[in-house]
Amino acid sequence: MRGFAKGLGVTAAAVGAMIFGSGPASADVFWQPWVAPSDYECFKSKTHDKSDYVVFQTCIVHGSGRNIQAVLIVSNTSDKKIKIYGQVYAGWDSSGEYSYCSLSDLSPGARTSCFGATSTGNLGANTAYSYLYMNGQTDEDATQSNTVTYYLG
């Protein structure tokens, strides 16, 4: 029975890996380390309204073909752990929905990222922005990132 359960767990992990993929071409609502891909565009960082030590920005990552995705990158330069939550908006996605970044702790000196869903970008300008919440903020208190634009030719 233990072998069957172990095999089932391995199979579930493999199926999950196939569905979600890996790297910048997949969507992931969980925070993960930021590793700069080969083709991306970011606009300048913004300091969070609640802390001069929390800096964030939105970037657009270009995968294969016209596949692009927005990503929220957050850096905690303070000496205290913070709680973060985010929303990433991709202006080219016809669904008009946000990707939600799970509530998570960010250690002092750490940087993390949350990738929105991968979708087909438009020829020409594609824009994205994010909202960052920290330490229990409500919707009215969120700080919006600067808007980034990525051009697909």
pLDDT of residue 132: 96
Q: Whole-angstrom Cα distance, residue 124 to residue 153?
A: 6
Q: Whole-angstrom Cα distance, residue 115 to residue 58?
A: 10
C-alpha angle 134/130/101, rounded to 5°? Answer: 60
Region 122-139: what's the mean pLDDT? 92
Higher-confidence residue of 129 and 20: namely: 129
Region 14-37: what's the mean pLDDT? 56
pLDDT of residue 94: 80
pTM of the predicted structure, to 2 decimals:
0.80
**pLDDT at position 25 over 60:** no
Which band of pLDDT confidence, cut at 50, 70 and 90, is reported for residue 135?
very high
Q: What is the dihedral of CA 31, 36, 40, 44, to 10 degrees?
A: 80
Q: Which residues of 7-17 are buried (b: 16+ CB within 10 A; e: fewer)?
A: eeeeeeeeeee
**pLDDT at position 76 over 60:** yes
Quick one: DSSP state of residue 50? Answer: T
